[in-house]
Amino acid sequence: MVGHIIIEGVTPCGECGRYPIKRVVGEACIVEADVFRDGHQLLKASLLWRRADAEGFNEVPMQALANDRWRGQFVPLDNVPHIFTIEAWTDRFGSWLSDFIKKVHAGKAVRGDLLEGIALLRDSNGYAQAEDAELILRAIAQLTPLNDATAALAIVTQPELTQAMGRALVRPDKTRYEPAVRVIVDREQARFSAWYEIFVRSQGDQPGHSGTFAQAEQRLPAIRDMGFDVVYLTPIHPIGETNRKGAGNSLHARDGDPGSPWAIGNQSGGHTSIDPALGTIEDFDRFVAAANRLGMEVALDFAIQCSPDHPWVKQHPQWFQHRPDGSIKYAENPPKEYQDIYPIDFDTSDYEALRQELLNIVRYWIAHGVRIFRVDNPHTKPVAFWSWLIAEVQTVRPDVIFLAEAFTRPKMMMALAKAGFTQSYSYFTWRNTKVELTNYLSELTQPAVSDFFRPNFFANTPDILSPILQTGGAPAFKMRLILAATLSPAYGIYSGFELCENEAEPGTEEYLASEKYQIKIRDWNRKGNIKEFVALINQIRNANPALREFTNLRFLTTDSEDIILYAKATADLGNVILVAVNLDPFQAHYCTAFVPPEVVGVAPGQRYRVTDLLTGAVYEWGDRNYVRLDPVIEPAHILRVDGRL
């Protein structure tokens, strides 16, 4: 049959099906497409969707918008891959009825047209369900003897008849969009989570002595009480001796210096071994079980690199890049040098064995209860490798989450997300001004980026102590925490943030006396901590569904460049949150905050009540509102809209 129907401009589609889009269980997938044909006949379209492992499609009628644009949606309920496509066909009865109505109203002779309509009814009858078939047969009997156009029109325009004809599956020219669009459906934790990063060895209480998993387990209730649901562990494997880094990234380690945990491997083992100073695999299992009992998950660092003492160096020398003199090249990111680390050579002729070994490492830790992996520097490994590995893992365990720690070029960050990474680090850490934040978040929350890229807004990391945190004191820490936790459903902090640790190596973003190279013993209750504030922010996140979403972010207008204002709301406006943040940690600022009435679901000019979830204060708001924020008191309002006045 000649193809009359065109389906194009499908969204979301992942560059015409080259890569999957992402959703979470229970999140609506709204699909749109341009659907049209030659001539003036009417069309119908359906959205077809199913689990990737199912046989038959579920069908949802699509609604016509303007300019040949159609829309439908489905809600995946299972943490497994899905697919969808679109099917369109000529609405033969609807097209005939449209013309018939016009001719009757114009007073034209319609007996021949009526016979065509009766023939369409007869053709459709064989495809109709029992009750519909009875209705169609009755209409045929009524229409056959009629010569009265007005009487015939009354019969053929009965809603019951037109609905029955719409249900009759007569689609001789149906056209299906190809290829079907793949959808990765993750569990809710992939979208909404609060991460807390720790070095296990720093969870003890004796300076110079490594903390253990047993001691780290004792800290879990405090981490839970701050509201975190993911405990991310920096590498827990044996640490190399050769070229071990000393305190402050010194090239010469002193006796007792523990070295960098990212220099993985020594005589005690490699990526599937535990640093003996931390405990045993049984201790690790107990730690994971304890976290789970408290409602938290353990995320493990997956760093594909080795110390010179890693067993692979002797067992698989072909997996490393050798210089002309036979030595193995250590890792570099000029001007930084990592003399204690050997990178892996993915161009090795033994690539198949290498990638299988790396897959086995991930499977090993999954068998020990790990469902979340934070991947170190994935942008220095082939994207094709990640696409393969993540697919291999998630085919069996779709609940496994991968976070890409890739502070690199934007296109590479996006490519890794397209390859399958569940979450991604972002540039949030370096976006400080109102313009920077607005532009960056506007990019991330809009399709097509939002269909595959899920940012995790870390406020700090062991590598990054941003200038504003170095100089802004507790107000800066509170301000950046609020931004991270309310702009993005997924965010994290590195331990010490709640203590407002802000001493840096001069002229750098590196922590002074960095925990990467030494054991750090802290007084978790020391004066000036903001633990209760962190807990409050996480309570607010958990209590307000609007903050569990990302693409519902809407920036609003203020007349101050120092105060940013944005709204988040559920689709039914049952939960609306307004956030105003003073971006200057050094002084108070004021502004007029403009809130369009449709944002909060009120009529123009109508006043409404808001409650500041940080302080409990209640205000009356409307279209224009005075805001003054003193960072010494509180750097922000987090306002819940409670009702009209």
Per-residue pLDDT at 137: 92
> Which of 158, 174, 164, 177 has the alpha carbon at shortest distance from 44?
174
Q: Give me Rg for the CA atoms of the chain.
A: 31
Residue 376 appears among annotated catalytic residues:
yes
The enclosing H or E element of 295 equals none
Q: How many CB atoms lie within 10 A of CB 460?
A: 25
Residue 612's pLDDT band, with cuts at 50, 70 and 90, is very high
pLDDT tens per residue, range 278-324: 999 999 999 999 999 999 999 999 999 999 999 999 999 999 999 99
**What is the pLDDT at residue 334?**
83
For 266, residues 6+ apart whose C-beta sits below 8 A from its C-beta are: 238, 239, 240, 241, 307, 309, 310
**Distance of alpha carbon 6 from alpha carbon 89, whole angstroms:** 10
CB atoms within 10 A of CB 64: 14
Candidates 479, 427, 524, 489; CA nearest to 194 is: 489
User: Tokens standing for 580?
Assistant: 């105003």
Choosing from 376, 501, 515, 549, which is the catalytic residue? 376
Which structure tokens are listed for 390? 């993540």
**Structural contact between residues 598 and 539, judged by C-beta atoms closer than 8 angstroms:** no
Predicted confidence at residue 131, as pLDDT, reads 87
Length of the chain: 645
pLDDT tens across 152-194, in order? Answer: 999 999 999 999 888 887 788 999 999 999 999 999 999 999 9
Tell me the average pLDDT across 107-121. Answer: 91
What structural domains does the chain harbor? 1-186 (2.60.40.10), 193-506 (3.20.20.80)
What average pLDDT does the segment 227-236 reach?
Answer: 98
Q: In this structure, are residues 208 and 243 in contact, taking their beta carbons and an 8 Å threshold?
A: no
* pLDDT tens digits along 42-101: 999 999 999 999 999 999 999 999 999 999 999 999 999 999 999 999 999 999 999 999
Residues near 54 by Cβ (< 8 Å), separated by ≥ 6? none
Residue 626 confidence class, pLDDT cut points 50, 70, 90: very high
- Residue 64 identity (one-letter amino acid): A
Q: Is 405 a catalytic residue?
A: yes
What's the pLDDT tens digit per position in 409-428?
Answer: 999 999 999 999 999 999 99
* Residue 220 host element (H or E): helix 213-225
pLDDT beyond 70 at 1: no
Report residue 284 as tokens. Answer: 């690790």
What are the tens digits of pLDDT across the range 248-279? 999 999 999 999 999 999 999 999 999 999 99
Q: Which residue among the candidates 87, 91, 132, 405 is catalytic per the annotation?
A: 405
d(C-alpha 2, C-alpha 263), whole Å: 64
Which phi and psi angles does 168 have, rounded to 5°? -70, 120
Q: Tell me how crowded residue 293 is: count the other CB atoms within 10 A of its CB.
A: 10
